[in-house]
Structure 1
Amino acid sequence: MDTRTSNSDRPISRGERWGPKLLWLRQVVDSDAFRISFAVLVFAAALGVLRQELQGQNFDSIARAFGSVSSTALLLAAGATVASYACLAVSERWALAAIGRSLSPLRIALATFVSYALSNGLGFSAATGGAARLRFYRAWGLSLAEVTAVTLLAGAAVTLGGVVCAGMAILLIPGAAPILAWIGALAIVPTTFWLLRPPRRTALLPGVEFTRPGPALRFSAIAAGIADWVFSGLALYILLPAPTFADFAPFMVIFVLGSLVSAASGLPGGIGVFDAILLSLSHRFGATHENVAALLLYRLIYVVGPLALTALGLAGYQLRRLDRAATTTGFRIAEAIAPAILATLVFCFGAALLLAAANLPMPLPPPEPWMAALPSRPLATSLLGALLVIVAMALWRRLEAGFYATFALLSLGAAMELWRGFGVATAGPLLVLAAALALSRRAFDRQSAGFHHVISPAWLAAAGLAGVSSLVLALATRDVRALADQPWWRWLRPGGDFGVAAVAAGLASLGLLIAIWWLASPSPREPRRPSKDEMARAARIVDAASGISCDALLYRMGDKSFVFSPSGLSFVMFRAYHGRWIAMGDPVGPPGDRSAAIEAFIAAADAADAKAVFYAVEAASLPTLLAAGLSAQKIGESGSVDLAHFDLKGKAHEDLRHALNSASRSHLRFDVLAADAPTTPWHDLEAVSDSWLDAHAGVEKTFSLGSFDVGYLRQFPIAVLRRGEQVVAFANVMITPDRARFGPDLVRADADAPHGTTDALLGHLILWGKAQQLGVFELGMAPLSGLPLNAVAPISTHVEAWIFRTANSLYGFQGLREYKEKFTPTWRDIFLAADPDVNPLIALSDVALLTSGGARKLLHRPRRSRR
């Protein structure tokens, strides 16, 4: 129920001036275009540094340095990698013990290896590692909050270990400047607090307590964090041409710096960023070509190796399970994490080709005559690298086009390696990866634009662009063969030695990649508005349901899509917004079918590459939502009045009695018109609605509130207050089929109506419901009220409480709560449940924008005051 009070004329506040800008900025930063653009800019900067570092180098010298690394050094680097992952498992064990959980060493080692293999390869370690942990630990009995706590604690131990390791390395550098010594000492200070005796029990997250691990376990956690950094740095240092013990300390400072900066960049595995920092700061440890060879080997051993082992493990597991039921826990875990691992490996191959093509001022060795037709020149290498990056992104999003394109490229690559005569040594990894991909086919279940919407205008445009671009590129490189000696983006700038032909080749390459990008992108699957059959199906479910809220009747607006449970006994209504499917309220239907409806909605959102969000759900749905992997947060309270105990007597209802008496003295007459009654004065109701809109926010609402639409309002009884025959206020009355709950949706009064008219209308409606022996009068939600502000409340909850206190002029949060208090309601908690990757504040702003029809309408102010 929307009962906002009007505001008097006043200057536009700073919040109103900046509100639209901040909402626009939030949408920009949250968009895929911004994230991709930022990553491209960081990657381009890294490429510039790498190009400068590699100036004057040649492939022969790098190849010789690559081959000069001894087998002993390779074995030691592999051993250091194993030791590094073992240290990470120790930190993981401490994190589990800190929340009072214990698992077998084998399970801890498996979860640690897979989660860090993903985070090292993909970047965003908290998100990617946390997602992998979630798959394992939820299957082993941990709650979502416990998995989050383990991710945070283990990450804190490892990060602190890196800072302390860098500080110790600085102190071990002989002759370091005093300022560096002070920095090193400060970096070690946090270990003191780590080893201090903590309180016996401390609330860490809602539902999770930090127990007090013993001193030995605390010491082993920080020691393991430091040792992890030492071993991971050692895995690279051993591969340098002439490693010495004296140079290891300064090398570790550079290594930790490069690792932290590359992690902050967000690029998968810090590709390019880590390498640029290490190469630019490591001249004292070896020649550039030797450092390049060491970095390449390190990437293969420490990043690609664990990912490849994980992929092989997944392939073996799924091969073993082919003749068994595909519903086992292990199979679900394998199917869930396979796309991320395979996408990372393909992305690494593509990024390596882009790096090679971008940093080739160095001359290539002349190809053998029989290899002249193979794509070994920079133009082909850069196109193939960009193509692999595109299909890797499609794999990451579990798109079927990514699966087929990657399988074709891997198979073609393996065939070419065999044709070149390099044999199984080089074709084998490609074939193994292709086999792992084939065994994970079921995981790539999302539709792609290239396979669906065929012969649509967009599909024809993309296919035509790909064909024309390929033709132009072939003609340009045939006429000017030297174009193949540079990557495609070098020809996009005008001028140069080859003029128009170069620009045409560059534009054709870009056009080809754009076309392939679109064909491999998710199929446009915006949820459609419900059909007449679906509306009728939803109506039957609502009519048969019991214990539902009045919000369930919002399905009649027809502005929301439906997802029905497999049994067809319940449904979830929702709207899509910016990659999120936002459900309005609890599932509608029998309580026993609630879990199936929630799972069906989450699965449908996932299949559409969207995140699931449930807005304004009650506590009864929380166990099922949490069990489905969503996180929940209180966002307000909903008030209701039990009519069995309601009485106008007493001081608590003095204001309400006064409003009813004042309406009687003003000769206002209350009546309830039946749904779609022929005598309903729709013209008069519309005039009252227009007057109310003119004095208030000036726009109709949708999604979580009703709007003045005659087709919608005809489905409800209409409560009216009249002066004579003139309607001065009205409300449509929602009554659940079991008559257990009822309440107003659209409450509007003429701007010239007497003061207290709305109070009188609601008071009469309560008395009418009591006479009709209805159950509970629903006052609706008071957003952001009653939030728990304690030491363990999430940051977003504190932000929401601040909005409740300070943004009253924008919406009237406090005024709405105070207005509803005059009815002495009973308040119950209302929650938002969302995918763990969705920020609750962003989800709430999405709901506000959906309800108001956009940022401009959300922040629209009254044109004038009428009271």
Structure 2
Amino acid sequence: MTDPTPTATPAAEGKRRPRPPAPPSSAEEAQMDAVAEAEHARHRAPSETLRARLAELPERVADLAAPVIEAAVALRPIAPYLLAVMVFLGGIDLLLQGTGAEIRWRQRLLSTTLPLTFTEASHLFSSLAGLALIILARGLALRMNKARVIATVVLLAGAVFALAKGLRWEAALLLAGMALLLTLARGAFHRRGDWRDFRPARGWLAAVAVIVAATILLTVVGFRDHSFVTEDFWTFAWSGDASRGLRASLALAVALAVIALDGLINRPAPSRLPRALPVPPAVRRLIADCPDSARQVALLGDKRFLVAEDESAFLMYGISGRSWVCLGGPVGDEAAGEKLMWRFVEMADRARMKPVFYSLPFARIEKLLELGHSILKIGEVARIDLPAFSMDGPARKDLRYARKRAERDGLVFEVIAAARVPALIEELRPVSDAWLAERKGMEKGFSLGAFHPAYLANFDLAIMRQEGRIVAFANLWASGAQNEMAVDLMRHLGGVSPVLMEAFMCEAILHAKAQGFRWFSLGGAPLSGLPDHPLAPVWARVGTLIYRRGDEFYSFDGLRRYKQKFGPVWSPFYMTCPGGLSAARALVDVALLISRPRRAATEPEPGPEAIDPEPADAGPAHG
């Protein structure tokens, strides 16, 4: 049987099958690769651009945030004061909201969602919250953390009350924003305490009373068309704005009376600072090794002491007015001393006092620059280079004459050992009393020695006798390692000899040189060496004016001229304190601390001592 399917001939098959394409040339291949690469790049470009922008995002955010961060850092020192002002104004705003009628369309909307009782209560508590914010503003200005926490809660509650009493969303946003700022700035409110620490003072209570009285007056004026009667107090209605204002005014008056009564009755009496302040043994040991002889004044007993835990350093300070005054900076180990300086500043800050550092050499200034203090030059110290000191030469002819004249006048110099000083106290007392009476002055203190027998018994005593009678004396400060000797308390009788004190000082200097000391300190010359230039700081110009024109009160220039006779090396000393008006207050506080000293610890005081404890978290402190 034959297959009916026709068989294609080779010629016909060749006509139906297409020819395979010719292979592309190298140029065509390159063109095709370029097109494919371009297409791939077109699809890839958006993702790469996105990745590049995401990579740049942190840098851009950092650039945008940098000014904000810089501003926050710059404002941090004054942030508590700014926030206190904002909270104070927020409290006044809440008070003023109750002096007028609410917006009617908002009140109608509230009436459909909230019960009347809730709105009435919100109106009353809103006014009380305003009063609370005004009171708390003082605590914020004092950087009290508890005031910040309470103010944050009251601000948030005030925001809720503002919405509930009249849909005052603008005020609610402002109050909530203040609460947020207080939360963000919580690091600036580091002082601990409770209500007693920022209880309103009498002046603050008077100011709050004026604000509350003005609020009540504005309420009466705002509803002057309304005739107030007794029944109005008990009227509760959506349209009862006048009744709500009357109830809020009464609540404010009662709340203020309670706060004032608490402030006037329960305010703790200021504690007296103790006069007797014993010197810790660690302080005596560190003083004995200190190369600065002026630190011997710590033994006067009128100061407080902050001692390192390992007793390797201490600093001494006094309290005057609103200032804690550290004298001379730390003594002892440098690292421990730096920690004590910061601890001292923290303690003063917690006590709401201003830290002041008085009578500092230039080497101590660098560490205090970090505190942001103002630096005031307050004078110069005269020190004699003993190895180079000589009585020879034309520059010393006046001193040679003084010694010879003293010898002709029968003046005899002697140094008494400390152990023998108590037996001479009754001979020294008439000299001291006569010296004070002649100058119509009182004993000084703090940075200057005073005539206290137990204090003088700590030191060798230089005396000048005439015919066996003591006519002049001075206690001698001797530093550690024989670095420096200095005279402290100098007293003499008048009319003995015109060269008494020049001769006395010459003999003391020669005594120190014979003992092998490196320096002899003549003490300070207040207000000496201040810059006299129209562009000098205000304090420098005022100090220069006092130095030149103040001879009626104190011979500033005469004191410097007297010390210049001995050819000293002058070096400046400084005071650092917070800037602005605080500097002027600090100067007054230091002056009062020196001119009105407390009785020294070495002097007995009748009656019980008052204890003024250090803050509980201040660490170990003495005195």
Please, what TM-score do these two structures have when normalized by structure 1? 0.51
- In the alignment, does 2:535 pair up with 1:577? no
Cα gap change, 1:726 to 1:530, in 2 (>3 Å)? closer
Deviation, 1:629, is 2.1
Alignment partner, residue 848 of structure 1: 591
Alignment partner, residue 446 of structure 1: 191
Alignment partner, residue 281 of structure 2: 536
- In the alignment, does 2:97 pair up with 1:352? no
Alignment partner, residue 722 of structure 1: 465
Letter in 1 for 2:339: A
Out of 97, 109, 125, the residue aligned to residue 67 of structure 2 is: 109
- In the alignment, does 2:119 pair up with 1:376? no
Deviation, 1:795, is 2.0
Report the Cα distance in structure 1 between the residues aligned to 2:559 and 2:463, rounded to whole angstroms. Answer: 22
Out of 355, 373, 376, the residue aligned to residue 612 of structure 1 is: 355
Deviation, 1:593, is 3.9
Alignment partner, residue 388 of structure 1: 133
Out of 548, 560, 564, the residue aligned to residue 817 of structure 1 is: 560
Letter in 1 for 2:87: V
Deviation, 1:418, is 7.7
Deviation, 1:572, is 2.3
Report the Cα distance in structure 2 between the residues aligned to 1:434 and 1:405, rounded to whole angstroms. Answer: 10
Report the Cα distance in structure 2 between the residues aligned to 1:538 and 1:507, rounded to whole angstroms. Answer: 55
Cα gap change, 1:428 to 1:839, in 2 (>3 Å)? closer
Alignment partner, residue 746 of structure 1: 489
1:270-419, aligned counterparts within 5 Å? 339-340=80-81, 342-356=83-97, 360=99, 369-371=116-118, 373-374=120-121, 376=123, 384-413=129-158, 416=161
Deviation, 1:631, is 2.5
Report the Cα distance in structure 1 between the residues aligned to 2:529 and 2:411, rounded to whole angstroms. Answer: 36
Give yes or no for contact 2:119–2:164 (8 Å, CA) kept in 1. no
Alignment partner, residue 28 of structure 1: none
Query: Which is bigger in relative contact order (C-alpha 8 A, separation at least 6)?
Result: 2
Deviation, 1:444, is 2.9
Letter in 2 for 1:413: G
Cα gap change, 1:572 to 1:764, in 2 (>3 Å)? same
Cα deviation per residue 1:228-255 (whole Å; 9 max; x = unaligned)?
xxxxxxxxxxxxxxxxxxxxxxxxxxxx
Report the Cα distance in structure 2 between the residues aligned to 1:833 and 1:746, rounded to whole angstroms. Answer: 26
How much is the aligned-residue C-alpha RMSD, in angstroms? 4.0
Cα gap change, 1:608 to 1:557, in 2 (>3 Å)? same
Alignment partner, residue 517 of structure 2: 774
Report the Cα distance in structure 2 between the residues aligned to 1:806 and 1:108, rounded to whole angstroms. Answer: 51
Letter in 2 for 1:376: H
Letter in 2 for 1:397: L
Report the Cα distance in structure 1 between the residues aligned to 2:304 and 2:389, rounded to whole angstroms. Answer: 37
1:153-168, aligned counterparts within 5 Å? none
Cα deviation per residue 1:596-636 (whole Å; 9 max; x = unaligned)?
23222222222222222211111111111113322213221
Report the Cα distance in structure 2 between the residues aligned to 1:723 and 1:819, rounded to whole angstroms. Answer: 23
Please, what TM-score do these two structures have when normalized by structure 2? 0.69
Letter in 1 for 2:466: R
Point out the more displaced range, 392-401 or 562-571.
562-571
Cα deviation per residue 1:515-544 (whole Å; 9 max; x = unaligned)?
566899999698766854x62232232234
Letter in 1 for 2:154: L
Alignment partner, residue 665 of structure 1: 408
Out of 454, 462, 474, the residue aligned to residue 711 of structure 1 is: 454
Alignment partner, residue 639 of structure 1: 382
Give yes or no for contact 1:566–1:600 (8 Å, CA) kept in 2. no
Report the Cα distance in structure 1 between the residues aligned to 2:508 and 2:192, rounded to whole angstroms. Answer: 50
Out of 526, 530, 553, the residue aligned to residue 787 of structure 1 is: 530
Deviation, 1:338, is 5.4
User: Tell me, what secondary structure is at the counterpart of 2:442?
Assistant: coil
Cα deviation per residue 1:700-756 (whole Å; 9 max; x = unaligned)?
101121111112111111111112332111111111122211111110002343222
Alignment partner, residue 512 of structure 1: 258
- In the alignment, does 2:510 pair up with 1:552? no
Unaligned runs of 5+ in 1: 1-103, 115-131, 136-332, 463-476, 491-501, 855-867
Cα deviation per residue 1:329-362 (whole Å; 9 max; x = unaligned)?
xxxx6xx5653454343222113234456xx4x5
1:145-160, aligned counterparts within 5 Å? none
Report the Cα distance in structure 2 between the residues aligned to 1:711 and 1:663, rounded to whole angstroms. Answer: 31
Cα deviation per residue 1:61-86 (whole Å; 9 max; x = unaligned)?
xxxxxxxxxxxxxxxxxxxxxxxxxx
Deviation, 1:383, is 5.0
Out of 670, 689, 694, the residue aligned to residue 432 of structure 2 is: 689
Report the Cα distance in structure 2 between the residues aligned to 1:720 and 1:844, rounded to whole angstroms. Answer: 34
Give yes or no for contact 1:634–1:831 (8 Å, CA) kept in 2. yes
Cα gap change, 1:664 to 1:580, in 2 (>3 Å)? same
Letter in 2 for 1:773: G
Report the Cα distance in structure 2 between the residues aligned to 1:404 and 1:778, rounded to whole angstroms. Answer: 54
Give yes or no for contact 2:387–2:518 (8 Å, CA) kept in 1. yes
Letter in 2 for 1:374: A
Paired-residue identity, %: 31
- The structure with the larger Rg is 2
Report the Cα distance in structure 1 between the residues aligned to 2:521 and 2:421, rounded to whole angstroms. Answer: 27
Residues matched between the structures, number: 494
Give yes or no for contact 1:349–1:385 (8 Å, CA) kept in 2. yes
Cα deviation per residue 1:770-800 (whole Å; 9 max; x = unaligned)?
1111221101111111112235421221111
User: Tell me, what secondary structure is at the counterpart of 1:718?
Assistant: strand
